[in-house]
Amino acid sequence: MYAFAYHRAADVADAVAELKRVADAKPLAGGMTLLPTCKMRLAAPTELVDLGAIPALKGISIAEAHVTIGTMTRHADVAASQELRAALPALCDLAGGIGDPQVRYRGTMGGSVANDDPAADYPSACLALGATIVTDRREIAADDYFQGLFQTALEGSEIITAIRFPRPLCAAYEKFKNPASRYATVGVFVARFDHGVRVAVTGAGSNGVFRASAIEQALNADFSPQAAAAITISPNAIASDMHGSAEYRAHLIPILAARAVEACR
């Protein structure tokens, strides 16, 4: 590591003010991505602004139409919430499959969404559920928020304060995970609403998380595992690396979508 200043923010206004004051300061949530990045010298902020002491950024709120989760809510808390499991069990299942216990007890939902790693789990939930990303200054629809590999609509000093998820009729997430990192080699989140089906894919897109429109159309016509499995995904816009070719990932997408439909509840 290298030398940097550390600021423990008292509230959201304090954090934003400090991020504006120091041009290259970075907000610190769980640190599951930022700290390893700094250790590898891939990032070198002169100051870290810790959000961990801000109570307003933590917690889960259940309403009739929506579930709202604070940005600093840990993965382990999402996975263990019985109130959330009764309202949106797919989010609990997703959180419980992130990394290992050490990661789940430190990592946060907001940190994951802010980083927008192309193999992270939460972006698929946000996109499939049509979530709203709430920041200190505005609300951003998930369809507008994710803009490419590690790229989001967030401005430099903008902080996610919460994420609001509409409650679907049913939803499920299925992931083919990397056995070492437990990141998604491919992950598919399926959500069914009165107005239609949304399907989002993580881990496979060459430009990050994306909606699988062909599978959505098939499931809107016939919400069944067979309908999802029958779709062929072109490998042209699919990522290829040492963990799997584009063709392999493209083959997995409809299989995992079918499993998600089967598990949908």
Taking residues 90-101, report their average pLDDT: 96
pTM of the model: 0.96
| 1 has a pLDDT exceeding 70 | no
pLDDT tens per residue, range 101-120: 999 999 999 999 999 999 99
How far is 62 from 78, CA to CA, in rounded Å? 12
Helix (H, G, I), strand (E, B) or coil at 186: strand
Same fold, 1-50 and 170-263: no
Among 64-68, 164-168, 178-182, name the one with the lowest average pLDDT.
178-182
Residues 122-152, buried b or exposed e (16+ Cβ, 10 A)? bbbbbbbbbbbbbbeeeebebeebbeeeeeb
| 36 has a pLDDT exceeding 90 | no
Contact indicator for 151, 236 with CB cutoff of 8 Å: no
Quick one: pLDDT at residue 265? 73
Quick one: pLDDT at residue 191? 98
- Token pair, residue 241, equals 């690396």
Q: Which of 70, 66, 68, 88 is nearest to 79 (CA)?
A: 88
Q: What CATH code would you report for 170-263?
A: 3.30.390.50
**CB proximity list for 52: less than 8 A, separation 6 or greater:** 8, 28, 29, 72
How far is 143 from 145, CA to CA, in rounded Å? 6
Alpha helices in the chain (DSSP H): 12-21, 34-39, 75-80, 82-87, 89-96, 101-106, 109-115, 122-129, 142-145, 213-221, 225-229, 246-263
How far is 205 from 252, CA to CA, in rounded Å? 12
How far is 143 from 141, CA to CA, in rounded Å? 5
Helix (H, G, I), strand (E, B) or coil at 154: coil
AA letter at 206: S
pLDDT tens per residue, range 221-230: 999 999 999 9
Taking residues 95-106, report their average pLDDT: 95
Q: Which of 38, 45, 39, 44 is nearest to 7 (CA)?
A: 45
Q: What is the mean pLDDT of the chain?
A: 96
Rounded to 10 deg, the angle between the 122-129 and 89-96 helix axes is 160
Res. 174 pLDDT band, cuts 50 70 90: very high
Taking residues 190-206, report their average pLDDT: 97
Domain locations in the chain as residue ranges:
1-50, 170-263
Q: What CATH code would you report for 1-50?
A: 3.30.43.10
